[in-house]
Structure 1
Amino acid sequence: MKTAFGYLRSLIFVVQMFAMMALMGIAFLPWAAVSRRGAYTGAWVFCHWVRWSVRWICGLKSEIRGDVPEGQVLIGSKHQSFFDVILIVSAVREPKFIMKDILRFTPIVGFYALRIGCVPVKRGRRAEAIRDMMASVTSGDAPAGQLIIYPQGTRVAPGLRADYKVGVAAIYEQTHQPCVPAATNVGLFWPRSGLLRKPGLAVLEFLPPIPAGLPRDEFRARLRQEVESASDALMREGGFDPDGVSRPD
């Protein structure tokens, strides 16, 4: 009975979330069309609505820890579900993401993503994808702000491993910007797939920045170590033991 009620609450939350996405997307559209600040504001308001409504409907609280990055900086974040995207956008002032190219065609989301400066990248051809990524990031047309990169390239469930791709190191090396690692445990409560949203405390934690100028391999190893260690600690705090999961290397 408790599980059935949890699914019902989750269904109500998801339905209203997408309804509000459409309503807010339309409401902020005129401002967003003429000003990037309108697009930022619309995204910020929606993300705060999601955080508030998932707490009220599903009992899922959320918290931002650490110093929120400002200015021209990279953010290398653990990615477990859509909720860590929501938390980052609700926290940083001028977010932009490296995103899948197909998302540019998604109604509402695609328009706002492009307006705030997200960088669409086609997958499948590694060398071409990295080249396209760097051309987009370093072009003079790209807006200033905080560039969020998911180094593993996809959502990774709690307890599982995935390689840290070379693209994040290439961007770090060529932009000459510091990189702020970000850890999270959101996948414990809002999974990468499925309907159920569980009660608890979802945390996104910004860690001390990694300075610009490190060798590529050293940077990638340090980013992985810091993000994974901090994420494991947050997952233990949430009642999950990442070391107790059988996972391939």
Structure 2
Amino acid sequence: MKALHYIRSVIFIVQMYLAMLVVGVICLPWAVVSRDGAYAAVRGYSRYVRWSLRVICGLRTEVRGEVPTGEIVIASKHQSFLDIIMITSVVDRPKLIMKNSLRYMPVLGWYGLRIGCVPVRRGHRAEAIHAMMNAVHDGNAPSGQLIIFPQGTRVAPGAKLPYKVGALVIYEETGQYCVPVAANVGLFWPRQGLLRRPGLAVIEFLPPIPPGLSRPEFRSTLERVIETRSNELMREGGFGADELSGHHRGA
């Protein structure tokens, strides 16, 4: 049975990247003349990935909570590429802080820059954040939902990494509401490896955190609500309390 899951996973991955190329090429003329075309391509592709994941691998996806709109910061638990796919499939104008290396990837890199994603060089995160804030204040960055990952990288289920300063800086500089996002997607689509396990992957938009909190208060609130709800979602997905505590001790 596991061998069959691997075969299906490989088929899914191959067609996923082929679909990225097809969608990217088809939507390119529209995306060049209008950012709306780029947003439509990203949203349409993300929805296709969710559909094909269910059909090929038996992995269903569910988005819970109220999907945010307008100028807002989204601070998400990041366990794999799937949480990005699920968020961009439902928000209307997403933009992310992304690894600088991704800007050179065919299709993905160009579309990322077109929708306003901010490339970040490893070790230069603060510099990139301030550059992005300058672009926002100058009116050069597109409006929309800024998606950040407070821990700065993909985190395996149960592992514990600190929440970094970048999310705090963005929260302070923008003065916007921040919507936390919890997830259990790493149980089914791991941060590394080919296997896509069947089940129900969930992300959940949580109640927004209002602007104006102090740095310590914002950080503790953000970490508490994301980690608490993510742990609940992981237990719902079959990840036991002993596994969570074991990963925390070993992180």
Aligned to 1:89: 88
Tell me which moved more, 128-137 or 27-36: 128-137
Change (3 A) 1:205 1:115: same
> Aligned partners of 2:94, 2:125: CA distance in 1, in Å?
25
- 1:4-23 aligned at under 5 Å gives the runs 4-23=3-22
Aligned to 1:104: 103
Residues 119, 137 of structure 1: 8 Å contact kept? no
What displacement does 1:120 show?
1.3
What displacement does 1:35 show?
0.5
> Aligned partners of 1:118, 1:82: CA distance in 2, in Å?
15
What displacement does 1:186 show?
0.3
> Aligned partners of 1:222, 1:21: CA distance in 2, in Å?
37
Relative to the length of structure 2, the TM-score reads: 0.95
- 1:119-130 aligned at under 5 Å gives the runs 119-125=118-124, 127-130=126-129
> Aligned partners of 1:174, 1:65: CA distance in 2, in Å?
28
Relative to the length of structure 1, the TM-score reads: 0.96
Offset from partner CA, 1:124-146 (integer Å, 9 cap, x none)? 14543443343344441111110
SS of residue in 2 equivalent to 1:74: strand
Q: Which runs of 5+ in 1 are unaligned?
A: none
Aligned to 2:245: 243
Q: Which runs of 5+ in 2 are unaligned?
A: none
SS of residue in 1 equivalent to 2:89: helix
SS of residue in 2 equivalent to 1:91: coil
Aligned to 1:115: 114
Aligned to 2:150: 151
Aligned to 2:63: 64
Tell me which moved more, 112-121 or 223-232: 112-121
Number of residue-to-residue matches in the alignment: 248
Letter of the 2:77 counterpart = K
Aligned to 2:172: 173
Residues 121, 132 of structure 1: 8 Å contact kept? no
Q: Which consecutive segments of 4 or more residues in structure 1 shift more than 6 A?
A: none
> Aligned partners of 1:136, 1:236: CA distance in 2, in Å?
41
SS of residue in 1 equivalent to 2:60: strand
SS of residue in 2 equivalent to 1:9: helix
Provide the alpha-carbon RMSD of the alignment: 1.3
Residues 47, 87 of structure 1: 8 Å contact kept? yes
Offset from partner CA, 1:57-97 (integer Å, 9 cap, x none)? 00000000000001110000000000000000001111110
> Aligned partners of 1:168, 1:198: CA distance in 2, in Å?
31
Change (3 A) 1:246 1:171: closer
Residues 119, 136 of structure 1: 8 Å contact kept? no
Residues 173, 213 of structure 1: 8 Å contact kept? yes
Once the two structures are aligned, what percentage of the paired residues are identical? 60
Tell me which moved more, 239-248 or 150-159: 239-248
Change (3 A) 1:221 1:133: farther
Offset from partner CA, 1:123-182 (integer Å, 9 cap, x none)? 214543443343344441111110000000000000101111101001100100000000
Change (3 A) 1:132 1:15: same
